[in-house]
A and B are shown apart, each in its own frame.
Chain A
Amino acid sequence: MTTTALAWTTLLAPLVAAALIACFTLKHRALSAALAVAGIGTGLVCSVAMAFRILGPGDPVREMHEFTWLASGGVTLKFGVLVDGLSVLMSLVVTGIGLCIFVFSNGYMKGERGWSRYFACLSLFAFSMLGIVFSTNLVETFIFWELVGVSSYSLIGYYFERPSAVEASKKAFLTNRIGDFGMTCGILLTFFTLAKAGIPGVSPSFTFTEIAPVFHSGVLKPFEADLALGAFLVFTGAMAKSAQVPLHVWLPDAMEGPTPVSALMHAATMVAAGVYLVCRTYFLFAPYEWPLHVVAGLGGATAFFAATMAFTANDVKKVLAYSTLSQLGYMTMALGLRSPSAAMFHLTTHACFKALLFLCAGAVIYGCHHEQDMRRMGGLRKKMPVTAWCYGIGALALAGIAPLSGFWSKDAILGAASGHSKPLYVVGLCVAFMTACYMGRAWWMTFMGEYRGGEAHAGDAAHAHAAPAVAHAAPAVHASHDPGHDAHGHDAHGHDAHGHDAHGHDAHGHDAHGHDAHGHDAHGHDAHGHDDHGPHGAHHGGEPQEVPWVMRGPLVVLAALSVVAGLLNIPAPLAAHGAHLEHWLMGTAAKPGPSWFPEAPPEVFHWDVAIGGTIAALLGIFIAWKFHGAAKSWSVDRFVAGIGPVHGWVERKWFFDDIYLFLVKRVQQPIADFCGFVEKRFLKEIVVDGIAVVSHWFGRQIRLLLDGHLHTYVTMALIGVLYLFVMLFATAHAGPGR
């Protein structure tokens, strides 16, 4: 098999699986799961085979296969696969992590009604994501970009009976529309600027391999303004998908989806697509200054703000969601600092340990019978030892403790920051500190101390619920084995943040069965009371228990990967040949790399950066221990009181949702009302209805013309012929020809 054939197989195997599931095996649960796993497994095998061919000790190679999809009016659209170091690395991440998560889902999703739909959507996602990975041109990328979006929305809204999930899905959709619109504009602007430039020998094209050399050659100097804008607009697409400030708001809500989905899409792979896109199209960015400055600035801001928000989250998934935001900010910052290989490195290691952390969170949720609030956990280390160990490894890797993988990739980013921009270096250190700190907090709250699940529940309920809520919750518990009650959902409180949200979001009220007035606590509780997971046996209040092997296996694999993934790119003084990943991605100076990354001196190890980062991380863990460890020597309440209004700002998520809500209500709504008025009164009633009336009138006249009499027909035809001849000669004499 040729390398490109391997790539096609990788790409199409999940699609075939999705199609087979959707068409044939919706009713056969085991078969659906087997098909999905087989699809992604085929992809992984082929990716490994490609890696052996592409990534050798020698110079990296690039192979491509394209066919014409559509040719119209001088524009040719193509489809194909591009195999090089960058795409193979990404495809390994997608299929490798994907396989772990597909297997894990077999345990986690047990007993769900939409089982086959779930696996079909996952496979569709794998196909679309691999499509972005192997894409050869901007249009193909965009098509798969949208497909990834589709699978993402459908999986966020997987529990579509739940209003909050539907809301989250809608939010993700709308936010991504903004980015995608920008991306469309960017692609078109770039294309037409190239067309306008009319450089001899360069035909306007969307294909990376054709346009990248043009950007590198520097002949596009006169069109710098347009092309830089185009690059920035392409980045807006990445901004939405990779959830960068200010388009980050959808990602925390996206945790409404099942936890394995959060792990695969909203942590490890899909949200990294933006980072991948910028790497793939780095040639668009490299020649210009300001787009990269914006990228770096937004990345730094995202990293910082998201890290602060992680402190106020009490949901075991939400902490990780904010952490994902923050780490994506890191990657984006590295992109802006002209260090795309560091970004890709961090993307890879982050995919391993963040998927691990999410799956651990999933295991915890499963083990605690769909409890998600960390305040009702604790002491799980003894009850779920494997999960706890894996979570610990993941958390340490995320915190960046040597020699786990996160240390190496974070060090590469901090190294790039210290070289290029001191302020961003400081931001990076702060984020490293905060990351360690909130992960420490999550660790101690979840796994250490005593289990607070059982007894706290009764007390809390009495405290937080008014009587009707309790009365309401009771029958729901009885009904918990009734499959019809799925609608009340299990991880139903992926949205504790909404409880705080005084504005809008009324829809969430339904979730709490109408007692929206109960606010946050009632909310969390109610969903808890409705634990409907019959197959898990014990209902609420049962002891947490370790998860089955089908879920533990992927955890262990991912934990091992999180430990060793750093080996990919250990920099020069520490490893004999140094920075393999970088070599694969960048090529050598003599032969420009397959990904058209800017030429840069190879990554070296800076002791000062490494020590700085490690100190920040250790300090973070120490402070977390002081606040949340067994002794609780420092009080969170006093700290919150100490920082004054800042806590409120953080809890309100730095007002982004409020600002958007304001914009929607006060700005967009009036505009929409006006447009609606024009549409209803003018466009519909006058223009459309008018046209309809006139057309119908004409239609009836035409109908009358054909009265069924043959002589009328002949007469009409001859009149028509005569008329046309008059026209023919009238135009012929008037025309220039005569």
Chain B
Amino acid sequence: MTGNVLLMLPEILLGAGAVLLLLWDLRLPAEKKGLLCWGAVAVAAAALAATWAPDIARTLSASPADAASVFAHESFAVDGLSVFLKRLFAITAILVFITAKDSVDAFPNARGEWWTLGVIALLGMFLCSGANDFMTLFVSLETVTVAFFALAAFRRDKPASVEAGLKLLVMGSLSAALLLYGIALIYGSTGTVFFSEIAGKIAPRALPDGTLVVPAIPAEMVVGAALVVLGLGFKTSAVPLHVWVPDVYQGAPTPTTAYLSVGSKLAGFVLLIRVVAMFGASPELGAQIAAFMSVIAGVTLLYGNLGALPQTNLKRLMGYSSIAQCGYLMAGIAASWEAGMSSALFYMASYVGMNLAAFAVIMSVSRATGSHEIDDYSGLARRSPMLGMALTLALLSLAGVPPFMGFFGKFFLLGAAYGRPELFWLFLIGIACVVVALYYYLSIVRRIWSEEPRIRTEIRAPRRVTLTLAAVSVVLIGGAILPNLVQAPATAAVKQMGVFPGKPPVPPRALR
């Protein structure tokens, strides 16, 4: 029992922390609401620390029984994948909270609630990373989504923010409907909602005499699986449920956009990895879903990258960029074998760093200029060398320029796609999109460094933000020098999931 409490400790801490923050918010006078930020950071940090609790307990206890592998309850898994993602989520939240403090403090109304909602969203992400049946999946996903409805519409005084919240709500409902329909179909054809049981029912079985029985996959199962993948596409911002992304990114308050662009998206991806791994138990279904996803990945890549080209608003551009990055991750997962998924995890880790660094700069700049137009980033390096440098690093990493972490992420993901001969076209699209992406990212970098600023006043970022940016930059470069520090746990996490009895039908060719 105590063991289980330890395993759930991060979620328990987050739940309790959210309630405490809410109560604290009620008692705090308006001018001290800024303290809530540190409360939220403390809760997230406690949750981050708590992810190590089972490991520590295992090391401390001498009995070999406790030293057994991971806990994987039928509904909630605490395995390598979930721990990896929880740590990413906690780090995401901490980075967002620290860099967003000034922007949130400047909100005219109810700013205390932003932090509570942020922690609740974090709780939802933690639950997502462990979800191991469709009920947990749906509930945890909605926990995240509902928190973000409120976060997006947080500036009730601004029409754009309210509109963003409404669009998120409508598209979210649509996708939830698709998702639920898919879950219902799968439940109908297998009679269970637990991932492990579904995998067991569709996986080929060896009879005692050694013959292999391959269960037939009914059509409703295929439709259900496809609907689940589509429904999750709302969170991951994959085509065709990506349509909300540019509007909401642009309209929502920037701290929300930053949080949404990383936290919500990765929550979608961790669920996607789990369900795809489960579908992969049946070679036939796995291959069909992989093919389905590869089409989505290709379209998403093209859509995001081409759509980003004519943008003039940096937040909106980041929205298209977010769609494009989703395409790369989908391509890796569609390749569907261990290399693809562990590469996706690696890429997620780098994505946290580079996207949040970009948004931290956006927040600092917009507080000074009041604008998100790319034109207003001209000559940023002269107005604030630190912010200019950090944004350059982040954009170069997003573009996949070596020697940053983003390069290795794209390298591994496209390498996974290259490893599957039938996905060669996707590999080519990915490569072409890297070139397109270079254009729109680098044209911002060019403005930052080689154009004259319109206004020459210095932009000062708080020390807290500059230190965070410095730390993230070090990680982005360090992760490229020693990628194995991230890659090894990512590979271990995927190996440990072990739901791959049906590996890809064609043996992967090694990347040589």
Within 8 A of B (CB), among A342-368: none
A699 touches B309 (CB 8 A): yes
Residue of B nearest to A722 (CB): B240
Residue of A nearest to B343 (CB): A72
Binary contact track B474-499/A, C-beta < 8 Å → 1, others 0:
00000000111001100100000000
Binary contact track A459-481/B, C-beta < 8 Å → 1, others 0:
00000000000000000000000
A713 touches B288 (CB 8 A): no
Residue of A nearest to B432 (CB): A691
Given A695-B436, A702-B303, are A72 and B415 also a contact pair (CB < 8 Å)? yes
Residue of A nearest to B419 (CB): A73
Residues of A within 8 A of B240 (CB): 716-721, 723-724
Q: Would you list the 8 A-B pairs with minimal beta carbon distance, nearest first?
A: A720-B240, A73-B511, A699-B309, A74-B510, A702-B307, A713-B243, A698-B306, A699-B306
B307 touches A720 (CB 8 A): no
A714 touches B171 (CB 8 A): yes
Binary contact track B414-426/A, C-beta < 8 Å → 1, others 0:
0100010000000
Residues of A within 8 A of B483 (CB): 69-70
A sample of 30 inter-chain contacts (CB < 8 A) reads: A69-B482, A69-B483, A69-B484, A70-B487, A72-B339, A72-B411, A72-B412, A73-B339, A74-B510, A75-B511, A192-B512, A695-B309, A698-B306, A699-B310, A703-B307, A706-B243, A706-B246, A710-B166, A710-B167, A710-B170, A713-B167, A713-B170, A713-B243, A716-B240, A717-B171, A717-B240, A717-B243, A718-B174, A728-B226, A732-B288
Binary contact track B310-333/A, C-beta < 8 Å → 1, others 0:
110000000000000000000000
Q: Counting CB contacts under 8 A, is A696 at the interface? A: yes
Residues of B within 8 A of A703 (CB): 307, 310-311
User: In the assembled complex, how far is the CB of residue A20 from the closest CB belonging to chain B, in whole angstroms?
Assistant: 15
Q: Counting CB contacts under 8 A, is A666 at the interface? A: no
Q: Counting CB contacts under 8 A, is B241 at the interface? A: yes
Q: How far is the CA of A695 from the CA of B284 in the complex (A)?
A: 36
- Across the A-B interface, how many residue pairs have beta carbons closer than 8 Å? 109
Other-chain residue from A75, A692, A702, A717 in contact with B241 (beta carbon distance below 8 A): A717
Q: Which residues of B contact A (CB under 8 A)?
A: 166-167, 170-171, 174, 178, 222-223, 226, 230, 239-241, 243-244, 246-247, 284, 287-288, 291-292, 295-296, 302-303, 306-311, 339, 408, 411-412, 415, 419, 436, 439, 482-484, 487-488, 491, 510-512
A724 touches B226 (CB 8 A): yes
B222 touches A728 (CB 8 A): yes
Q: How far is the CA of A732 from the CA of B419 in the complex (A)?
A: 23
A696 touches B167 (CB 8 A): no
Residues of B within 8 A of A714 (CB): 170-171, 174
Given A68-B484, A73-B415, are A700 and B292 also a contact pair (CB < 8 Å)? no
Q: How far is the CA of A710 from the CA of B415 in the complex (A)?
A: 38
Q: How far is the CA of A415 from the CA of B296 in the complex (A)?
A: 72
B487 touches A713 (CB 8 A): no
User: In the assembled complex, how far is the CB of residue B205 from the closest CB belonging to chain A, in whole angstroms?
Assistant: 18
Within 8 A of B (CB), among A56-71: 67-71
Q: Counting CB contacts under 8 A, is A708 at the interface? A: yes
B296 touches A724 (CB 8 A): yes
Q: Counting CB contacts under 8 A, is A737 at the interface? A: yes
Residues of A within 8 A of B439 (CB): 692
Given A68-B484, A71-B487, A72-B415, are A717 and B174 also a contact pair (CB < 8 Å)? yes
Residues of B within 8 A of A73 (CB): 339, 415, 419, 510-512
Q: Counting CB contacts under 8 A, is A731 at the interface? A: yes
Binary contact track A43-60/B, C-beta < 8 Å → 1, others 0:
000000000000000000
17 additional A-B pairs beyond A70-B483, A73-B511, A720-B241, beta carbons within 8 Å, are A71-B491, A72-B339, A73-B339, A73-B415, A74-B511, A692-B439, A698-B302, A706-B246, A706-B307, A713-B171, A714-B170, A716-B243, A718-B174, A724-B226, A728-B288, A731-B288, A732-B288
Residue of B nearest to A720 (CB): B240
Q: How far is the CA of A716 from the CA of B223 in the complex (A)?
A: 20
Q: Counting CB contacts under 8 A, is A725 at the interface? A: yes
Tier of interface size on chain A = 35 or more
Where chain A touches its partner, the secondary structure class is helix
Residues of B within 8 A of A192 (CB): 512
Q: How far is the CA of A177 from the CA of B487 in the complex (A)?
A: 32
Given A71-B484, A706-B246, are A720 and B310 also a contact pair (CB < 8 Å)? no
B306 touches A702 (CB 8 A): yes
Residue of B nearest to A699 (CB): B309
Q: How far is the CA of A70 from the CA of B408 in the complex (A)?
A: 10
Q: How far is the CA of A54 from the CA of B310 in the complex (A)?
A: 64
Given A67-B484, A725-B226, A728-B226, are A713 and B244 also a contact pair (CB < 8 Å)? yes
Q: How far is the CA of A75 from the CA of B511 in the complex (A)?
A: 8
Binary contact track A289-301/B, C-beta < 8 Å → 1, others 0:
0000000000000
B291 touches A720 (CB 8 A): no
Residues of B within 8 A of A195 (CB): 512
Residues of B within 8 A of A75 (CB): 510-512
Q: How far is the CA of A731 from the CA of B411 in the complex (A)?
A: 29
Other-chain residue from A696, A708, A732 in contact with B310 (beta carbon distance below 8 A): A696
Residues of B within 8 A of A721 (CB): 178, 230, 240-241
B230 touches A724 (CB 8 A): yes
Q: How far is the CA of A671 from the CA of B291 in the complex (A)?
A: 45
Given A724-B226, A728-B292, are A699 and B487 also a contact pair (CB < 8 Å)? no
Residue of B nearest to A78 (CB): B484
User: In the assembled complex, how far is the CB of residue B296 from the closest CB belonging to chain A, in whole angstroms?
Assistant: 7
Q: Counting CB contacts under 8 A, is A727 at the interface? A: yes
Residue of A nearest to B223 (CB): A725
Residues of A within 8 A of B288 (CB): 728, 731-732, 735, 737
A724 touches B295 (CB 8 A): yes
Residues of A within 8 A of B308 (CB): 699
A68 touches B241 (CB 8 A): no
Residue of A nearest to B309 (CB): A699
User: In the assembled complex, how far is the CB of residue A678 from the closest CB belonging to chain B, in whole angstroms?
Assistant: 19
Q: How far is the CA of A99 from the CA of B411 in the complex (A)?
A: 41
Residues of B within 8 A of A710 (CB): 166-167, 170
Q: How far is the CA of A192 from the CA of B510 in the complex (A)?
A: 13
Q: How far is the CA of A568 from the CA of B170 in the complex (A)?
A: 82
Given A713-B244, A720-B240, are A70 and B307 also a contact pair (CB < 8 Å)? no
A700 touches B310 (CB 8 A): yes
Within 8 A of B (CB), among A498-520: none
Residue of A nearest to B511 (CB): A73
Within 8 A of B (CB), among A666-706: 692, 695-696, 698-700, 702-703, 706
B412 touches A720 (CB 8 A): no
Other-chain residue from A71, A716, A727 in contact with B295 (beta carbon distance below 8 A): A727
Q: How far is the CA of A718 from the CA of B170 in the complex (A)?
A: 13
Binary contact track A192-220/B, C-beta < 8 Å → 1, others 0:
10010000000000000000000000000
Residue of A nearest to B170 (CB): A710
Q: How far is the CA of A67 from the CA of B491 in the complex (A)?
A: 16
User: In the assembled complex, how far is the CB of residue B275 from the closest CB belonging to chain A, in whole angstroms?
Assistant: 16
Within 8 A of B (CB), among A570-608: none
Q: How far is the CA of A429 from the CA of B20 in the complex (A)?
A: 89
Q: How far is the CA of A68 from the CA of B502 in the complex (A)?
A: 29
Other-chain residue from B247, B415, B436 in contact with A708 (beta carbon distance below 8 A): B247
User: In the assembled complex, how far is the CB of residue B444 from the closest CB belonging to chain A, in whole angstroms?
Assistant: 15
Q: How far is the CA of A717 from the CA of B226 in the complex (A)?
A: 15
A68 touches B488 (CB 8 A): yes
Q: How far is the CA of A720 from the CA of B308 in the complex (A)?
A: 20
Most buried by A among B170, B288, B306, B439: B306
Q: How far is the CA of A710 from the CA of B339 in the complex (A)?
A: 39
Most buried by B among A75, A192, A698, A718: A698
Most buried by B among A68, A724, A731: A724
User: In the assembled complex, how far is the CB of residue B289 from the closest CB belonging to chain A, in whole angstroms?
Assistant: 9
User: In the assembled complex, how far is the CB of residue A718 from the closest CB belonging to chain B, in whole angstroms?
Assistant: 8
Residue of A nearest to B291 (CB): A731
Residues of A within 8 A of B491 (CB): 71
Q: How far is the CA of A713 from the CA of B169 in the complex (A)?
A: 12
A70 touches B484 (CB 8 A): yes
Residues of A within 8 A of B408 (CB): 70
